[in-house]
């Protein structure tokens, strides 16, 4: 008889474990089925209890979706799961209860636990969702001081976020109109100013004071970086707590500006990649970009300083319009040349332009009177052709 007890105990343990696994399977199956109903935003489960949150606050639409949930609740799955044994609360997108019989067996404490689980799982950066969640919990359970404290915390964060966003929008709008602000890049509370004068810090602080008179400034202190038009860093103003968690924010903002500079602005790109290299000397991208643009500048200078056989400069002046270089030739260099000689001359000029790295894809040759003598057109891989 004694030998039978271990067998009976083992049988009951196996039966209990099997029931638990079956329960888990049914829980997960119901959660999947609920989540797949159109209009359901999310479903929270806890010990066989469910809270389904809808993606709409519209009353008629909420009732339709709740009806589908009720129909699902009355089913038994093909695997034998009786969904009716699992209570389901339904909330709309504003976290207000949608009346349904599926929640009859849920106590207030169980609903609180499910709703808190949903809110607790939100990311802290989801400020408005957290505020909505804790506000609803505080309304349902007004004696809970923790919920009230969380509401106040997220109210402050929400106000800060709105003030910050409004201030950023106004700063960007005003910067576009300000003749002294060349560009302004912003990431939350970090501002990078590029000014067109030689006092970037003074100009930037005056600009912020001007904007503050139009719209409220965030209570949180700003982290500011000041650059002149040649991208020399002329100072910064940044709270200590920012400096500890700043990471590569300044570099990212500066890189956003540098990458917006057209490739045909060679000197500006050189200044940009020099400034980026100062911030991050180890990054080979900045070194290779800087080398490339410096090589282009050397090639351009070599081409523009080419001399005639008598030692005079061939080009009297040059100007860049967009991505096209316009050069004015000294008329004496081509006076009296035959058609064949001119063809050889322009061919040699074309070859030297290509040899110099074809700094721009198009170079227009002009006479001193302004007449077009021809055009050097280059492909992206540096092959050039002269056209009259």
| Per-residue confidence (pLDDT) for residue 110, from 0 to 100 | 95
The three-point CA angle 108-110-115 to 5° equals 95
pLDDT at 14 (0 to 100): 37
10 Å CB burial of residue 376 (0-12, 13-18, 19+) is buried
Instruction: Detail the DSSP E strand segments found in the chain.
Output: 40-46, 49-54, 88-91, 181-187, 190-195, 223-227, 233-237, 315-321, 324-329, 362-366, 372-378, 384-387
Q: Do 119 and 130 form a contact (C-beta atoms < 8 A)?
A: yes
Residues 27, 31, 32, 36: what is their CA dihedral angle, to the nearest 10 degrees? 150
pTM, 2 dp: 0.78
> What is the chain's pLDDT, residue by residue, as a tens digit (388 residues)?
455 544 444 344 433 433 444 556 898 999 999 999 999 999 999 999 999 999 999 999 999 999 999 999 999 988 889 999 999 999 999 999 999 999 988 999 999 999 999 999 999 999 999 999 999 999 999 999 999 999 999 999 999 999 999 999 999 999 999 999 999 999 999 999 999 999 999 999 999 999 999 999 998 899 999 999 999 999 999 988 887 788 899 999 999 999 999 999 999 999 999 999 999 999 999 999 999 999 999 999 999 999 988 889 999 999 999 999 999 999 999 988 899 999 999 999 999 999 999 999 999 999 999 999 999 999 988 899 999 8
What are φ and ψ of residue 178, in 5° steps? -85, 120
Spatial distance between the Cα atoms of 260 and 317, rounded to a whole number of angstroms: 28
Return the DSSP state at 251: H
For the record, the structure tokens of 50 come out as 């469910």
What is the pLDDT, as a whole number, of residue 246? 85
Hey, what are 367's tokens? 């006479």
The per-residue pLDDT for 310 is 83
Nearest CA to 218 among 226, 204, 208? 208
Q: Which residues contact 388 (CB under 8 A, 6 or more apart)?
A: 346, 373, 374
């Amino acid at each position: 008889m004694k030998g039978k007890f271990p067998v009976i105990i083992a049988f009951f343990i196996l039966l209990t474990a099997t029931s638990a696994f079956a329960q888990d399977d049914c829980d997960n199956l119901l959660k999947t089925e609920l989540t797949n109903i159109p209009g359901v935003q999310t479903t929270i489960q806890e010990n066989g209890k469910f809270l389904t949150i809808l993606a709409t606050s519209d009353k008629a639409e909420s009732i339709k979706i709740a009806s589908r949930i009720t129909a699902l609740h009355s089913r038994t799955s093909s695997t034998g799961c009786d969904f009716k044994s699992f209570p389901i609360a339904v909330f709309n997108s504003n976290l207000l209860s949608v009346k349904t019989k599926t929640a009859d067996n849920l106590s207030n404490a169980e609903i609180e636990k499910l709703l808190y689980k949903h809110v607790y799982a939100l990311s802290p950066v989801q400020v408005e969702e957290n505020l909505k969640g804790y506000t609803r919990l505080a309304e349902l359970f007004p004696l809970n001081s923790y919920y009230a404290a969380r509401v106040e915390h997220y109210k402050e964060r929400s106000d800060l976020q709105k003030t910050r966003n409004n201030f950023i929008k106004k700063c960007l709008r005003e910067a576009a109109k300000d003749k002294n602000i060349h560009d302004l890049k912003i990431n939350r509370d970090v501002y990078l100013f590029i000014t067109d004068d030689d006092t970037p810090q003074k100009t930037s602080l005056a600009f912020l004071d001007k904007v503050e008179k139009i719209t409220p400034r965030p209570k949180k202190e700003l982290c500011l970086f000041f650059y002149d038009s040649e991208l020399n860093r002329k100072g910064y103003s940044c709270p200590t707590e920012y400096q500890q968690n700043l990471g590569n924010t300044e570099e990212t903002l500066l890189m956003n500006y540098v990458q917006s500079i057209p490739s045909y602005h060679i000197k500006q790109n050189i200044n940009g990649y020099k400034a980026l290299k100062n911030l991050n000397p180890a990054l080979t991208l900045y070194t290779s970009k800087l080398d490339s643009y410096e090589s282009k500048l050397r090639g351009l200078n070599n081409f523009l300083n080419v001399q005639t056989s008598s030692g005079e400069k061939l080009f009297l002046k040059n100007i860049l319009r967009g991505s096209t270089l316009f050069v004015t030739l000294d008329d004496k260099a081509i006076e009296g040349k035959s058609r064949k000689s001119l063809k050889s001359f322009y061919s040699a000029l074309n070859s030297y332009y290509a040899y110099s790295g074809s700094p721009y894809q198009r170079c227009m040759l002009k006479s001193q009177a302004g007449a077009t003598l021809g055009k050097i057109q280059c492909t992206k891989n540096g092959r050039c052709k002269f056209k009259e």
